[in-house]
Structure 1
Amino acid sequence: MALDPVFEPITRRVPELPAELKLPHITPTHDTMLDHTVRQRLMPDGFPEHVLGRMEQLVLQLARIQHGSPLPFDLLAFDSPQLVVFAADHGIADEGMSHLPQSMTCEHVMQLLLGAAPVSALAQLHGFDVTVVDAGVASHIALPEDARRKVPLLLRKIGYGTRNQLLGPAMSQMQAISALHAGMDVVRHLPGNVIALGDVGVANTVSASLLLTRLCGVPLADACGRDDFQGESLSDIGLEQRIEKLSAAAGRHRKALGPLDSLAALGGFEIAMMTGAILQAASERRVVLVDGYVAGAAALVARGLVPAAADYLVFSHRSGELGHRLMLIHLQAQPLLDLGMRLGQGTGALMAWPLLLAAQALLER
């Protein structure tokens, strides 16, 4: 059966990007000679090739990212690792796309600021500095007067939540560009050579599913599985009603084809800022640890804008959403972990961090 034209993969020429969008230059990391050198160092004496399996591929990717000079490659070095969590609300939440009230976005942000979120313990364990970015939360974030903030909050609010995609584009093209530039600016001012990306936002998996459908041609019914609506299990009728609404939203924006237009029509402010963060980090040859489904949607858009950005992306885990599994297939990415997690906030990225430390140790022996 042929796909609805709304959901067909993009095969036509992508429209030219507007002059207002300033994308950084990203250098591809392909280096055959480096791969040969690193493999020789990794190979245990007396063992056949590729005995380290996917760890070998991780070591090679990290070495390519960090080998940006004509000098011989030495060792992997991870300096001042950063976790950046982007938070925003989504207008389509008004259509009952989550069992969580929209106010929970602000609540989760405050947990992060107080160091009380699940990812906070992992950040402390692994020595990650945490930054929370208000990309477009629908309310003002104000901690109680007696509360002690442990994490900085950057105010980069583009708007008080995106618009409902059923009624119009999630954001204007200029808002999307502003969010991309804001994400670049956030990374530009952070130290270190490792960036882990996380997200907070009620119903943000809906925007991720719409972007997956538009940019990869995945049928919406597959992109939005029964259990993908923020952990809620739906009846057949409830799922059908939500798919019908999302189909109507996708159909309303059927002319939004390229990565930028799709981002503006169907995405979220936090997804746009994460996209900018990915592009800037890749241009600075930083390792980018991508968390779950929503961060993966940002990676999908970033790859569409600058294909070389994909070389710098380490996909930390395969989340429990069916759509994320399909997204990773289209990204041709093998995640490091598969724990069925769907928490967001960068939790999966920090869970995978010890594997990067293991990769570093393998080259130090």
Structure 2
Amino acid sequence: MSNVEVLFQITPVSHLNDGVIAQKIDLKTKPQGSLGKLESLALQIARIQGAECLKINAPTMLVFAGDHGIAREGISIAPSEVTAQMVQNFANGGAAINVFCRQLGWQLEVIDCGILTPSKAEGICLQRLGAGTQAIHLAPAMDIATVDKGFEMARQLVERHCQAGCNLIGIGEMGIGNSSAASAIMAAILKLDVKDCVGRGTGISTEVLARKTELLELALRRHQSELDSPKQILAHLGGFEIVQMTGAMLAAAERDMLTVVDGFIATAAALVAVAIAPNVRDYLIFAHQSEEQGHQAMLAHLQAKPLLDLGLRLGEGTGAALALPLIQAAANFYNQMASFSDAGIEAVV
């Protein structure tokens, strides 16, 4: 597989029935537009599923973990060893994402995409592309063959869940240093200055932020001549978990599955996925607006209106997990809410 380019065949979402779907939503027993974002969400789901009755089946949260060479420069609040410790915490059921998945009805799978030391925790899916990426201010994070290998691994993972009946996945991550990779990806794709993309991650100091910015500016200068395609951007600036997150979004769209995108790092993966295959955008639901600087610009570029704004900056897929009841509510009002004619009420327009 390492010498074969992985291609995704994503069907454009049809808009032929938009009028019929919109009329069904408008004729529910409510003023038009009064359910706000839930109405546009129901329209999005109905476009994809093309069914009279919308269904959210076996929602599955995929949390991708990987380590980053740049973290050795001390640009995060914790050392890289914490990635493996948090993966163990996921396996033990003790993290925020575990709590939210149990509460809200998500199935949870954690994927070791390339943390420094292979996870030995029970139940962790091993899809390792290496033992952490290269430091991107010194060398490419990985080669193109590794990107393709990660894409194929992600495709097989999503296919397994699709075959098990899942039609909605959530995308989360864990990786000390991955906000640096996400910031660099954002700068490269949106052609912005690093200072407009880089943020404090989970809470670094002003001094560390300055160092992080300096290293990312160096990385962008070093690789500038090679950043001529989305996959090259991933290879030079990305992370093993960001590669597989990108591949999972593409693979899910290929199988007509919805993807709930978490925060800043997951949205960086979405930027790459949409750059590779623009049709993937129609299959993405953006869960929340992160506290991370730059996330709002990413969302604007993708013409995304996130469902939540809770001041989150944890990652792990926590924002995506919290969005599930809203997605279910959108499907349920579409399926179950009476129309004016059903209820014998004079239509409100």
TM-score under structure 2 length normalisation: 0.91
* Large movers: runs of 4+ above 6 Å: none
The answer to whether the 8 Å contact 1:215/1:257 transfers is: no
Match of 2:209 among 239, 243, 247: 239
Q: Aligned runs of 1:3-82 on 2, under 5 Å?
A: 20-32=4-16, 34-44=17-27, 48-67=31-50, 73-82=51-60
Alignment-derived partner of residue 281 in structure 2 = 310
Residues 228-276 of structure 1, C-alpha deviation per residue, up to 9 Å, x if partnerless? 23312324xx433331221111110002221000000000000000111
Q: Which moved more, 1:193-202 or 1:355-364?
A: 355-364
Sequence identity percentage: 38
Alignment-derived partner of residue 201 in structure 2 = 229
Query: SS at the partner of 2:224?
Result: coil
Alignment-derived partner of residue 346 in structure 1 = 317
Match of 1:208 among 179, 182, 185: 182
Q: Does 1:113 align with 2:84?
A: no
Find the aligned partners of 1:46 and 1:58 in 2 and give their Cα distance: 18
Q: Which moved more, 1:119-128 or 1:239-248?
A: 239-248
Match of 2:117 among 134, 139, 146: 139
Alignment-derived partner of residue 220 in structure 2 = 250
Find the aligned partners of 2:28 and 2:271 in 1 and give their Cα distance: 40
Find the aligned partners of 1:45 and 1:285 in 2 and give their Cα distance: 27
Find the aligned partners of 2:30 and 2:157 in 1 and give their Cα distance: 45
The answer to whether the 8 Å contact 2:90/2:98 transfers is: yes
Query: SS at the partner of 1:322?
Result: coil
Alignment-derived partner of residue 357 in structure 1 = 328
The answer to whether the 8 Å contact 1:97/1:229 transfers is: no
The answer to whether the 8 Å contact 2:63/2:174 transfers is: yes
> RMSD in angstroms over aligned alpha carbons?
1.6
Q: Structure 1 residue 121: deviation in Å?
A: 1.4
**Matched letter for residue 47 of structure 2:** R
Alignment-derived partner of residue 95 in structure 1 = 73
**Matched letter for residue 22 of structure 1:** V
Q: Structure 1 residue 45: deviation in Å?
A: 6.0
Check 1:350–1:229 CA distance in 2 against 1; reply closer, same or farther (3 A cut).
Answer: closer
Gaps of 5+ in 2: 338-349
Query: SS at the partner of 2:323?
Result: helix
Match of 1:321 among 285, 292, 301: 292
Query: SS at the partner of 2:112?
Result: strand
The answer to whether the 8 Å contact 2:127/2:153 transfers is: yes
Q: Structure 1 residue 52: deviation in Å?
A: 2.5
TM-score under structure 1 length normalisation: 0.87
Q: Structure 1 residue 167: deviation in Å?
A: 1.3
Q: Does 1:333 align with 2:304?
A: yes
Q: Does 1:156 align with 2:156?
A: no
Q: Structure 1 residue 332: deviation in Å?
A: 1.2
Find the aligned partners of 1:246 and 1:41 in 2 and give their Cα distance: 49
Q: Aligned runs of 1:188-199 on 2, under 5 Å?
A: 188-190=159-161, 191=164, 192-199=166-173
Alignment-derived partner of residue 249 in structure 2 = 278
More helix by share: 2
The answer to whether the 8 Å contact 2:151/2:246 transfers is: yes
Match of 2:192 among 218, 221, 231: 218
Find the aligned partners of 1:290 and 1:45 in 2 and give their Cα distance: 29
Find the aligned partners of 1:303 and 1:95 in 2 and give their Cα distance: 31
**Matched letter for residue 53 of structure 1:** G
Residues 272-311 of structure 1, C-alpha deviation per residue, up to 9 Å, x if partnerless? 0011111110011111011111111111111111110111
What is the total number of aligned residue pairs between the two structures?
Answer: 331
Find the aligned partners of 1:52 and 1:140 in 2 and give their Cα distance: 46
Find the aligned partners of 1:345 and 1:45 in 2 and give their Cα distance: 36
Q: Structure 1 residue 185: deviation in Å?
A: 1.2
Query: SS at the partner of 2:32?
Result: coil
Alignment-derived partner of residue 10 in structure 1 = none
Q: Structure 1 residue 137: deviation in Å?
A: 0.5
The answer to whether the 8 Å contact 2:75/2:209 transfers is: no
The answer to whether the 8 Å contact 1:23/1:279 transfers is: no
